[in-house]
């Protein structure tokens, strides 16, 4: 609630949609990018950067009107912004609030960096699978070949850099 005071001066509440709150300061644009939201979709988007937070010092917030992230979107958010909370808004009320969490097994979202990995062979119906080794700092290990991904590798992949 205290968090809210400064933010209210900048952006109003939304009627329906999603508020991604408690994003690490500086990562709001990264979150929008991995969700593939560019502003040309037609729905309203509000971005607050470096808002005051009692819990985090500074945080970013993204408000998306009439947009509801899917399961894989939430996993992607967790991978780049592990402190984020997802608030679902209906008729101005927060009807659902959840803390994102990187799952212990991530299937089909990321690509193994090893070109000879079975998950990379063309024609093989093998979906990529990564096991969570460490949350902080983020480290994932390919289930098939043991290759590892760092936080940096993950954000690069998710933003297509």
Using only C-alpha atoms, the chain has a radius of gyration, in whole angstroms, of: 17
β-pair partners for 88: 18, 96
Give the one residue of 23, 30, 35, 61 binding ligand CTP; rule: CB under 6 A: 61
CA torsion, points 85, 71, 34, 9, in degrees to nearest 10? -30
Contact map string, positions 112 to 151, toward ligand CTP, x by CB under 6 A: ----------------------------------------
Q: Does 13 bind ligand CTP (CB under 6 A)?
A: yes
Cβ proximity to Zn ion, 35 vs 112, nearer residue: 112
Do 150 and 137 form a contact (C-beta atoms < 8 A)?
A: yes
Binding region for Zn ion (CB under 5 A): 112, 114, 117, 142, 144-145, 147
Binding region for ligand CTP (CB under 6 A): 1, 3-4, 7, 13-14, 19, 21, 61, 63, 85, 87, 89, 92, 94, 97
């Amino acid at each position: 609630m205290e968090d809210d005071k400064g933010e209210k001066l900048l952006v109003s509440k939304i009627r329906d949609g999603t508020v991604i709150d408690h994003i690490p300061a500086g990562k709001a644009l990264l979150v929008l990018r991995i969700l593939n939201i560019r502003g040309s979709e037609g729905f309203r988007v509000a971005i607050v950067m470096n808002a005051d937070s009692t819990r985090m010092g500074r945080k970013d917030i993204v408000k998306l009107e009439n947009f509801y992230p899917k399961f894989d979107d939430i996993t992607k958010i967790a991978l780049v912004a592990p402190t984020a909370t997802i608030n679902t808004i209906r008729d101005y009320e927060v009807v659902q609030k959840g803390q994102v969490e990187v799952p212990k097994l991530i299937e089909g979202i990321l690509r193994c960096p090893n070109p000879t990995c079975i998950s990379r062979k063309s024609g093989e119906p093998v979906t990529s699978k990564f096991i969570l080794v460490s949350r902080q700092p983020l480290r994932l290990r390919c289930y098939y070949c043991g290759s590892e991904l760092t936080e940096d590798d993950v954000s690069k992949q998710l933003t297509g850099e």
